Amino acid sequence: MVVTTGNHTAALVRLDELPPKTCAVVRGISTDDEDMQRLKALGVCVGRRVELVRAGDPMILKIFGSRLGISAELATHVSVEVCQPDHCALRDDPGA
């Protein structure tokens, strides 16, 4: 999937495919209501900036300066846009 934000186009990747120490913005979540509520309770929701601290199972994410663990299986349902060194998807998206 490809997302266009302003005059920037970026590919989406699954959260479980994000390289460690990489910042990204959540662009979509596709799962059932129970898992959706679990992700929201953890702070993983559309428009939120996340950083993958450690890959594995559980994965360790940094959100709002806090670290949390989520299962790698649950992360497969989260689509993110990777922030590039010269472009932060969050900073350039007025709707985020």
Q: What CATH number does the domain containing 48 carry?
A: 2.30.30.90
Task: Give the pLDDT of residue 3.
Answer: 44
Where do we find the tokens 């472009």? 87
Distance CA 30, CA 39 (A): 11
User: What pLDDT score was predicted for residue 81?
Assistant: 94
pLDDT the model gives residue 95: 42
pLDDT at 4 over 60: no
28-70 pLDDT per residue, tens: 999 888 999 999 999 999 999 999 999 999 999 999 889 999 9
Total domains in the fold of the chain: 1
What range does the domain containing 36 cover? 2-92
Has residue 13 got a pLDDT over 60? yes
User: What 8-state DSSP symbol labels residue 31?
Assistant: S
Task: Quickly tell me which residue has 């663990």 as its tokens.
Answer: 69
From 19, 33, 20, select the one nearest 77 (Cα to Cα): 33
Structure confidence at residue 86 (pLDDT): 65
